[in-house]
Amino acid sequence: MFLTWTASALPNVTVQPLVDSCASYPNYDESTGQAGPWSAIADSTDTDVDGFGFVPLYASPVGNGARWGFLTIPTTPPSKEVNMRCANGALQGQLDMRSLGIIWQDLVAAGTSNEAVFGFGFPDLPDPNHHLEPYAHVDVDGVRQPGVFLGSENITTWGFNYQNNKEGGEYYFLRLLTPGSENPATGRPLNDGEFTGFIKIRA
């Protein structure tokens, strides 16, 4: 499959930080301090995957056999999406961590500036973890757009990178487009075949 550099036309919105607590997410329960469960979807990519939910792609176990991996968007609508919630001030996904069972696992964007990938349980590497936070989008008329969006450091734009392999089939992994996220080889803001979009909570 031949891929070229692609740029999506994202809506002209201003990113507005919400209070970094579970109370900013949908379905907040004051008695537990938690919000959810709900799922998250690809949004504003201007491609066929808009509205698709996330599925896990597990990597090899580490240490005690616990899994780690990525949250990805498949190229076809998934039959089952990852349940998410906010608990203890952190975004979490309900995942099969093998030796640890099916548990709620913190979700992060982790890696160097040019590969801050959306995932979970990453091995203890020197790369930074970006704590994911809730944001609102406000249009040019000052009207808040429906929904809560995920990001970090006042950034909610993600790059969607196409993959096709025997483990995961056809899917997109996502990286947060923080400062310094340009492709180090080309200097371009996006990789070949990469397009941009948002992650939106679907309550």
pLDDT recorded at residue 142: 94
**Average pLDDT over every residue of 172-189:** 85
- pLDDT one-digit tens code per residue, 31-55: 999 999 999 999 999 999 999 999 9
Share above pLDDT 70 across residues of the chain, in percent, rounded to a whole number: 92
- The answer to whether residues 41 and 157 touch, using CB atoms and an 8 Å cutoff, is no
d(CA 39, CA 83): 5
**With bands split at pLDDT 50, 70 and 90, how would you rate the model's confidence at 62?**
low
Residue ranges of domains in the chain? 13-202
Q: How far is CA 119 from CA 15, 46, 115, in A?
A: 22, 23, 11
What CA–CA distance (Å, rounded) separates 95 from 92? 9
Distance CA 60, CA 115 (A): 19
